Amino acid sequence: MDTLNIIQKALPALLSGLWVTLEIAVVALFFAMAIGLAFGLLRISKNPLLRWIAEFYVNIIRGTPLLVQVLFIYFGLPGAFDFKLSAFAAGVIAISINAGAYLVEIFRAGIESIDRGQMEAGRALGFTYAQTMNYVILPQAVKRMIPAFVNQFIITIKDTSLLSVIGIAELTMEGQTIYSSNFRAFEILGAIAVIYYILIYALTLISNRLERRLAKS
C-alpha cells in the first residue's frame, strides 16, 4: 500500500516529464527526417563528393555515442565559440542529428527499393529529376518507410533519457529528482520503466499494424 501511495504522489511529476520526453522526441524526429531526406538524397547522388559528405556524416554520428554528442553540443560548442544554448535546444539538436544519421540509411534504402523504371518513366514524361523524385519516387518510398519511421521514433523516445545529464526535466530526470528526495528509488524507477514500456509497446503495436497493412496494399 505504501508503494502505491509513493507512485501515486509521484505520478503527476512523472507524467509532466513524459510530456517533455514526447515533445522533444516529436520535434527532434521532425528535424531528423529533414536531415535524413537531405543526406539520403546525397547518398544516392552520382556525384562522388556529395556521396562522401553523406557517408562522412553518417559514419561520424553513428560511430560516436549519443551521450558524447549531447555533451559536445551543450558544453563543447558554446564553450569554444562563446554562445549560449538552452538545454532544451541542445537536446533537440543532438537527438535530431543522431536520429538523422539513421534516417539517412532508411531514406536511401526506401528510395532504392523503388524500381528504376519509375525514374525513367517520369523523365520520359518530361519531369525533371527533382519533380520525378518529388511526385513519383518519394510518395511510394515513404509509404514503405512508415514502419521504419515509427521504429526510429521509438528509439528516439528512449534516447531522450540521456538528456537528463544536461538537466532537461524529461521522464528520467523527473524520476531522479523525486527519488533523491524521498529515497524510494525502487518504486520510482519501477514506475518510470512501466511508463516507458506502455508507451513503447503501444507504438510497437502501431508499427506492426502499419507493416501488415502496407504488406497487403
- pLDDT tens-digit profile of 78-131? 999 988 999 999 999 999 999 999 999 999 999 988 888 888 888 888 888 888
How confident is the model over 186-208, as pLDDT tens digits?
A: 999 999 999 999 999 999 898 88
Distances (CA, A) of 141 to 50, 110, 111, 196, 215: 21, 5, 5, 30, 13
Report the predicted TM-score, pTM, of the whole model to 2 decimal places: 0.90
* CB 19 within 8 Å of CB 199: no
Q: What is the dihedral of CA 69, 73, 77, 83, to 10 degrees?
A: 180
Q: Identify the pLDDT of residue 29.
A: 95
Per-residue pLDDT tens over the stretch 122-161:
888 888 888 888 888 888 888 888 888 989 999 999 999 9
Share of the chain above pLDDT 70, in %: 98
**20 band by pLDDT with thresholds 50, 70 and 90:** very high
**CATH number of 2-216, picked from 1.10.3720.10, 3.40.50.720, 1.10.10.10, 3.10.20.30:** 1.10.3720.10
Task: Flag whether pLDDT at 63 surpasses 80.
Answer: yes
Which one-letter amino acid corresponds to residue 200?
I
Total Cβ atoms within 10 A of residue 61? 19
Give the dihedral of Cα atoms 190, 193, 199, 204; nearest 10 deg: -130
Write out the three cell numbers for 6: 509513493
- Which pLDDT belongs to residue 62? 95
Cell readout for 73 is: 553540443
The conformational region for residue 183 under phi > 0 = left, psi -120 to 50 = alpha, else beta, is: left
1 has a pLDDT exceeding 60: no
Q: Give the type of residue at 39.
A: F
- Enumerate the H helices of the chain as residue ranges: 2-43, 48-62, 66-71, 77-81, 87-112, 116-124, 129-132, 138-159, 171-182, 185-216
DSSP string across 124-167: HTT--HHHHIIIIIHHHHHHHHHHHHHHHHHHHHHHGGGGGGGT
Phi, psi of 139 (to 5 degrees): -60, -40
pLDDT at 211 over 80: no
Q: Is the pLDDT of residue 175 over 80?
A: yes
Measured CA to CA, the distance from residue 24 to residue 157 in angstroms comes to 8
Closest CA to 54 of 30, 38, 70: 38
